[in-house]
A = this chain, B = another copy of it.
Amino acid sequence: MKIIHTADWHLGRIINGKSLLEDQAYILEQFIDEMEQQQPDVIVIAGDLYDTSYPNKEAILLLEHTIRRLNLDMGIAVIMISGNHDSKERLHYGSTWFEKSNLFIRTSLDDINKPITIANVDFYTLPFATVNEVQQFFDEDSLETHQQCLAKSLSYINQSLNKEKLNILIGHLTVQGGLRSESERPLTIGTVESVEADSFKQFDRVLLGHLHHPFSIESDYISYSGSLLQYSFSEVNQPKGYKCLEIIDGAIVKEQFIKMQPLRKLEVVSGDYEDAIQERLNVNNKDNYLHFKLKHMSHVNDPMMHLKQVYPNTLALTNETFDFNTPLYERNEEIQKLNDEEIISRFYEYITDEGLTETQNTKLEAVLNDMLEGGSTK
């Protein structure tokens, strides 16, 4: 038996005003082709199919087209759950009909103890739910953290678990210790959202969505597939693809991450503004979605416009001259050791990227002397 694990498609995603739909259609066409080769028994999509709860027409058509190819044309069973970006009701629409073709869309807590059985493997689904929703479902106000909610849900599932079978959980959540990227919207605001890895021990395998890095967690039975594409510049060096599990005689014998090649990657380019405009900077691919971090551009009027004329897919621009990333206390310590002239000279260099000229130095010395000694600079 072969299981494909993917998640976080975020269809309809827009980064800095740029719709990624073309890139998403491209990578999903590649995914469809690969599935034709792989011939899996099940495809698991662990949440965040859409980027918003109110997806646009194009995103809906893309999801429908993709799933129709996989499920109806190729006859592959598909199990998907809702993530924190999806609207439960909208994603669930039509699912009673879909189940007749082995397309399972699970968005409700009502079904968490009802496994989907495919070839002697029981798939349990745990769609994203807020603490509030879990409280209401179990009618227990004492459930206050994600960890408590998960523990409650898992012990509830445990009552239905058939230990004779291989049990696989599909979820959308953050496991403690998982690597985070900027494009994962926090599951809730103001609560600790991650849960302990130990909670899942009753399952043979846990296939997760939410974290975008395919190697977000080190575990021999819990795994994130990672997102379909790089969805923020913090994911620049993350490989993207899907995972493939093979089961023989009721045991998982192999798990493999399979990389896919996107139409465009995300790329961060650092350097001097003039070098960027003159194409003297090392850019891997001019068609990539670029984030420029540039110096010496304070004199330029609308630098973004100029960059886009050379690199049409420029999505972000940071003025690196003002780099406030160095922690303040570090600089404070340094400052203690410097004299006034050095502090001013360093500050000047920090802001303008250039040292003081000889004339400026002489003038500075005179001004300082005047102020500190009370004399005249004339």
Residue ranges of A at the interface with B (Cβ–Cβ < 8 Å): 54, 57, 60-61, 64, 68, 72, 87, 89-90, 93-94, 96-98, 100-101, 103
Contacts of A60 in B (CB 8 A): 89-90, 93
Given contacts A57-B90, A61-B89, A72-B96, 5 further A-B contacts (CB under 8 A): A54-B54, A68-B96, A94-B94, A97-B97, A97-B100
Contacts of A100 in B (CB 8 A): 97, 100-101
Give CA–CA (A233, B154) in the complex, Å: 54
Contacts of A57 in B (CB 8 A): 87, 89-90
User: Secondary structure of the A side of the interface?
Assistant: helix
Q: Is B96 a contact partner of A94 (Cβ separation < 8 A)? A: no
Contact of A101 among B54, B87, B90, B97 (CB under 8 A): B97
Q: How close is A68's CB to chain B, nearest CB, in angstroms?
A: 5
Q: Is B93 a contact partner of A93 (Cβ separation < 8 A)? A: yes
Give CA–CA (A98, B94) in the complex, Å: 8
Q: How close is A264's CB to chain B, nearest CB, in angstroms?
A: 26
Contacts of A93 in B (CB 8 A): 60, 64, 93-94
Q: How close is A202's CB to chain B, nearest CB, in angstroms?
A: 33
Contacts of A72 in B (CB 8 A): 96-97
Give CA–CA (A127, B129) in the complex, Å: 39
10 shortest interchain CB distances as A-B pairs: A94-B94, A57-B89, A97-B97, A97-B98, A68-B96, A97-B101, A64-B93, A60-B93, A72-B96, A61-B89
Q: Could you write out 6 A-B pairs with CB less than 8 Å apart?
A: A68-B96, A72-B97, A94-B94, A94-B98, A97-B97, A100-B100
Give CA–CA (A42, B152) in the complex, Å: 46
Contacts of A87 in B (CB 8 A): 57
Give CA–CA (A87, B57) in the complex, Å: 9
Give CA–CA (A21, B190) in the complex, Å: 35
Q: Which of A54, A97, A100 has the most CB of B within 10 A?
A: A97
Q: Which residue of B lies closest to A103 (CB)?
A: B97
Q: How close is A45's CB to chain B, nearest CB, in angstroms?
A: 16
Give CA–CA (A90, B64) in the complex, Å: 11
Q: How close is A27's CB to chain B, nearest CB, in angstroms?
A: 22
Q: How close is A291's CB to chain B, nearest CB, in angstroms?
A: 33
